[in-house]
Amino acid sequence: MTLGLGFWFSYQLLWTYFEVVLRQDVPEAFAGDLVLFLHIVPMIAALALQAHAKQDDRTSRLGTLDFALLVIWWLYLYFFAVIPWQYASANDLAYGQNLNALYLTEKMVFLAVLAVLWSRSTGSWRAVYAHWFGASVTYGLSSYVANWAIEKHVYYSGSLYDVPLVVSMCWVTVLGLLAQRWSPKEEQTKTSKSDGVWVARLGMIAVFSLPLFAVWSMVDIAAPPKLRTFRIVVTLAGMMGMGIVVFLRQHLLDRELIHLLSGSRESFENLKRLQTQLVQSEKLASLGQLVGGAAHELNNPLTAMSGYSELLASTPLSEEQRMLAGKLAYQVRRTKNLVASLLSFAKQVPATKTKLEINALAQTALKLSRPELSAHHIAALSNFAADLPLVLGDSNQLLQVCIHLTTNAIQAMEDSGSGLLTVSTRRQNDHVVVEFADNGPGLREPERVFDPSYSTRSVGRGPGLGLSACYGIIREHNGKIQCENSARGGAVFRVQLPSVVSTTRDDAASKSQQSSYYSNEEDEHASATLTLPPTP
């Protein structure tokens, strides 16, 4: 709107320069008439953007190209209908008639768009559009009356015919002051879905109208030859300019469509992954209910066994019998710890989480699996990163995960008679990663190994629920567990856990105690260690 009023003000300065400074009448065919004609074009574009409605960046970008297309089309109409009578074939009467007719058409379009927006808006915006419509109607009628007075040779600058023009401009000024006081905000209006379609249709109509004007120029035998040639050249130039704008607009839309297609594909893949996770979560929930019920049933005989072992230890026994009673009590305690972990997995008993050192857990898992590794002639290679941050978790549950992944690798390589298990740890951003890699035959469907209903084990060797239990434990620790086949052969299981920052000496002491506990006490009772059901 400011640009349009700036054009109008520039035209008034040109008019004043001729009549006040040069003291002569403005020529009938005046080159400055183009500035007057163009001042409504940016106003139409401003209305087309619907300032009262909340717009996005996409609408603004397309609106800029639509504005360029609009400017080129109106410029073409001016150069087609008005300019030829000024330069190609001078005719002041035809120049004035065509200019007035085209300018009137332009004002009618502007008023029509204003009326539509006035009917659609509410609140302060409705008042803004109403005032603007009133000022524009006053300006349009007064300019029409002034043109009539010019034809009757009764008009002169400063006459009463100029009063309505001044009133309309004052009205616009008052509107600007009122709008500052109202401070209208963008409204969450429901824009019609057909608005964008109609903009595209109008753009195509504008483009296809140019060849029709060219045909009209060729069949208009009454027009001078120079005028027809000028119009055809102007039409070709207009088609070139509008074609460039249409190409840029289509290029922008193509880029947007490609972006939307990529986004839709990514959303579809995420939806598929989410669906898989939901199905797996439902299966784990059913498994958790089953495990929880079984764990509760196991607690009763375990409590009785614990009590009987304590009674047995309090009776007079030989040294060998007392050692056996102690081992029995130890096994009962470890079984109760396993049941507690099962209940935690079933989300019926909250797990107690402390700060742990992942290297100590992985090292303990290898020590506890040493007899099985030796029995199958499998070598174990550890590659632990130094100065890893601690992780927050349940030591018993995470140790069970490490043992399960180690056992799973051993079972994958047991048929070959030898193999290599590599356990490594590293820091990745704010997470700690531990990997278990084997050089076995790999997995047929690595994406399904955590499914409770999926098993690669032969009949009679168990259902293979260990990896699904590991999946549930790692999820409970806000981590991730992944499986993939290595390019060098074999399978790789990767566990990723969020790290915690050690800030006190107690943390260092805790790390030392945990390392000592896992490397000494567990090694002493390695033969008595209990694990979850065998893995696939």
Per-residue model confidence (pLDDT) at position 479? 92
- C-alpha to C-alpha distance for 41 and 504, rounded to whole angstroms: 71
Half-sphere exposure of 198 (CA within 13 A, CB side): 6
Give the confidence band of 59 by pLDDT, cuts at 50, 70, 90. Answer: low
Give the confidence band of 422 by pLDDT, cuts at 50, 70, 90. Answer: very high
Per-residue model confidence (pLDDT) at position 10? 92
Per-residue model confidence (pLDDT) at position 187? 60
Could you tell me if 48 and 72 lie in one domain?
A: yes
Q: Confirm whether 518 is domain-assigned.
A: yes
Residue ending a domain, among 345, 365, 398, is 345
Q: Confirm whether 423 is domain-assigned.
A: yes
CATH number at residue 287: 1.10.287.130
Could you tell me if 180 and 95 lie in one domain?
A: no
161-193 pLDDT per residue, tens: 889 888 988 998 898 888 888 877 766 555 555
3-state class (DSSP) for residue 156: coil
b/e 416-445 (16+ beta carbons within 10 angstroms → b): eeebebbbbbeeeeebbbbbbbbbbeebee
On the question of pLDDT at 496 being above 90, the answer is yes
Average pLDDT, stretch 143-166? 84
Per-residue model confidence (pLDDT) at position 45? 81
**β-pair partners for 481:** 495
What is the percentage of the chain residues whose pLDDT exceeds 70?
A: 82
Could you tell me if 87 and 132 lie in one domain?
A: no
The mean-pLDDT minimum among 423-427, 446-450, 528-532 falls in 528-532
Q: Confirm whether 277 is domain-assigned.
A: yes
Could you tell me if 468 and 406 lie in one domain?
A: yes
The mean-pLDDT minimum among 20-34, 269-283, 428-442, 466-480 falls in 269-283
Task: Look at 281 and 1; give whichever has higher pLDDT.
Answer: 1
Per-residue model confidence (pLDDT) at position 518? 42
8 Å CB contact between 497 and 432: yes
On the question of pLDDT at 379 being above 80, the answer is yes
3-state class (DSSP) for residue 361: helix
203-249 pLDDT per residue, tens: 778 888 888 888 888 888 888 888 888 999 999 998 898 888 888 88
Q: Confirm whether 75 is domain-assigned.
A: yes
Task: Look at 527 and 25; give whichever has higher pLDDT.
Answer: 25
- C-alpha to C-alpha distance for 14 and 16, rounded to whole angstroms: 5
Contacting residues for 517 by C-beta, under 8 A, at least 6 apart: 360
Could you tell me if 173 and 38 lie in one domain?
A: no
Average pLDDT, stretch 466-495? 87
φ, ψ (nearest 5 deg) of residue 531 = -130, 170
Could you tell me if 101 and 55 lie in one domain?
A: yes
Could you tell me if 479 and 358 lie in one domain?
A: yes
Could you tell me if 509 and 440 lie in one domain?
A: yes
Average pLDDT, stretch 143-160? 83
Q: Confirm whether 80 is domain-assigned.
A: yes
3-state class (DSSP) for residue 438: strand
The mean-pLDDT minimum among 197-211, 290-304, 498-512 falls in 498-512
**What tokens does 411 get?**
């079972």
On the question of pLDDT at 446 being above 90, the answer is no
Per-residue model confidence (pLDDT) at position 425? 94
Could you tell me if 336 and 358 lie in one domain?
A: no
Q: Confirm whether 4 is domain-assigned.
A: yes
CA distances to 96, 376, 377, 390, 509 from 523, rounded to whole Å, are 106, 20, 20, 22, 21
The mean-pLDDT minimum among 21-25, 60-64, 427-431, 462-466 falls in 462-466
On the question of pLDDT at 378 being above 50, the answer is yes
The mean-pLDDT minimum among 132-136, 138-142, 443-447 falls in 443-447
Half-sphere exposure of 168 (CA within 13 A, CB side): 19
Average predicted confidence (pLDDT) for the chain: 80
Could you tell me if 371 and 498 lie in one domain?
A: yes
Give the confidence band of 497 by pLDDT, cuts at 50, 70, 90. Answer: very high
Per-residue model confidence (pLDDT) at position 395? 84
Could you tell me if 1 and 49 lie in one domain?
A: yes
Residue ending a domain, among 55, 90, 110, is 110
φ, ψ (nearest 5 deg) of residue 204 = -65, -40
381-411 pLDDT per residue, tens: 999 998 899 999 988 788 888 988 998 888 8
Task: Look at 506 and 356; give whichever has higher pLDDT.
Answer: 356
Average pLDDT, stretch 78-107? 88
- For the chain, the domain total comes to 4
On the question of pLDDT at 150 being above 90, the answer is no
Q: Confirm whether 259 is domain-assigned.
A: no
8 Å CB contact between 209 and 201: no
Domain of residue 74 covers 1-110
Per-residue model confidence (pLDDT) at position 293? 72
Q: Confirm whether 451 is domain-assigned.
A: yes
Average pLDDT, stretch 488-516? 65
CATH number at residue 375: 3.30.565.10
Average pLDDT, stretch 249-259? 85
Per-residue model confidence (pLDDT) at position 375? 87
Could you tell me if 464 and 384 lie in one domain?
A: yes
| Greatest pairwise CA separation for the chain in angstroms | 138
Average pLDDT, stretch 432-448? 87
Residue ending a domain, among 78, 110, 142, is 110
Per-residue model confidence (pLDDT) at position 65? 76
Per-residue model confidence (pLDDT) at position 214? 87
Per-residue model confidence (pLDDT) at position 431? 92
